[in-house]
Amino acid sequence: MSDFHHTPEAEAAPPPAAGTSPRHGRAKGEPRFPDGPKADPAGSHFERRIRSFQPRRSRVTAGQADALQRLWPGWGLDIDGQRVIDLAELFGDARPVVLEIGFGMGEATAQMAAADPDTNILAVDVHTPGQGNLLALAERAGLSNIRVANGDAIILLREMLAPGSLAGLRVYFPDPWPKKRHHKRRLIQPEFLSLAATRLAPGAVVHCATDWEPYAEQMLDVLTAHPDFENTVPGGGFAPRPDHRPLTRFEGQGLDKGHVVNDLLFRRVQHKELSPTG
């Protein structure tokens, strides 16, 4: 999860075993989680790109590490950008799939999956403790409609998801990148929306929420201007917070600081094909 608002993890990390690195608790050169998510799944395979997330050293608790080791082989997906994935095969059924980008610690994701078992959630983040946390939450709640993807959502969208394969997109409290020189790192931009539009089925809804008002205005501007999306709110503007979106961890931190939260719900439009005669 982002360090823009930072809270310490609830669970304490275990002490390192003898003969291991004090910081990571493993011998030099050993993978962090032999059966778990890879450290940098796409590696240098793709061009240098502006990243919407910040690299951070992540402390993984014993419970998260255990979930990563045990559950990753069945429920995890490393974003290596090497193949287009068959979503029905990944989930084991053909239910509609919604992509959630940046689930953080995953509490809201697990709640939404439990509340709507007929929708599959492909949840992507780079944050290793969050990946472990979400896997543990999913197992504890007996959820079979969550898969956890590790890596950059842009590569997932561009290289690994088929056109029209998504029934929805959720981006809750994306990193706000408040400094002007960092605005280029914000996720919700015209190019991102053009890419997302190709992967969304006609009628699919993009749901964004943020507690950073200048970013909310930017989201509203770029979504409103984009030809592939229409506002679900008659007359335009922000949407009332829908009941189905639970309070997220990052949102709670923003509310504690007195921030105003805005939701945006835009639909992927289907363009009418023009006949050769117009």
Ligand X SMILES: C[S@@+](CC[C@H](N)C(=O)[O-])C[C@H]1O[C@@H](n2cnc3c(N)ncnc32)[C@H](O)[C@@H]1O
Within residues 7-26, the interface with ligand X by CB under 6 A covers none
Phi-psi region of 75 (alpha: psi -120 to 50; beta: other; left: phi over 0): alpha
Q: CB-wise, 104 or 165, nearer to ligand X? A: 104
For residue 113, the tally of other CB atoms under 10 A from its CB is 24
How many residues bind ligand X, per CB under 6 A?
25
Q: Among 53, 177, 192, 215, which residue sits at the site for ligand X (rule: CB under 6 A)?
A: 53
Q: Among 36, 76, 81, 104, which residue sits at the site for ligand X (rule: CB under 6 A)?
A: 104
Q: Among 72, 192, 229, 250, which residue sits at the site for ligand X (rule: CB under 6 A)?
A: 250
CA distance 269 to 229: 5
Q: Among 33, 36, 42, 52, which residue sits at the site for ligand X (rule: CB under 6 A)?
A: 52
Question: Is residue 240 within 8 Å of 231, Cβ to Cβ?
Answer: no
Annotated catalytic residue within 80, 125, 152, 175: 175
- Look at the block and give the residue holding tokens 């959720």: 170
- Least Cβ distance, residue 56 to ligand X (angstroms): 8
- Least Cβ distance, residue 1 to ligand X (angstroms): 4
Q: Which of 277, 209, 273 is CA-nearest to residue 241? A: 209
Can you tell me whether residue 75 is helix, strand or coil? helix
Query: Distance between alpha carbon 62 and the CA centroid of its chain, in Å?
Result: 23
Q: Is 175 a catalytic residue?
A: yes
In 79-99, which positions are buried (b, 16+ CB within 10 angstroms) versus exposed (e)?
A: bbbeeebebeeebeeebebbb
Question: Is residue 211 within 8 Å of 259, Cβ to Cβ?
Answer: yes
Within residues 165-194, the interface with ligand X by CB under 6 A covers 172-175, 187
Q: CB-wise, 40 or 230, nearer to ligand X? A: 40
Within residues 207-236, the interface with ligand X by CB under 6 A covers none
Q: Among 110, 120, 123, 152, which residue sits at the site for ligand X (rule: CB under 6 A)?
A: 152
- Least Cβ distance, residue 156 to ligand X (angstroms): 8
The residues pairing with 67 across neighbouring beta strands, listed in sequence order, are none
Based on the shown chain and the rule CB under 6 A, indicate whether residue 159 belongs to the binding site for ligand X: no
Within residues 121-140, the interface with ligand X by CB under 6 A covers 124-127
Position of minimal CB gap to ligand X: 102
Q: Among 135, 251, 263, 268, which residue sits at the site for ligand X (rule: CB under 6 A)?
A: 251
Q: For 76-152, where are the alpha helices, taking DSSP H only?
A: 87-91, 107-115, 128-140
Active site residues: 175
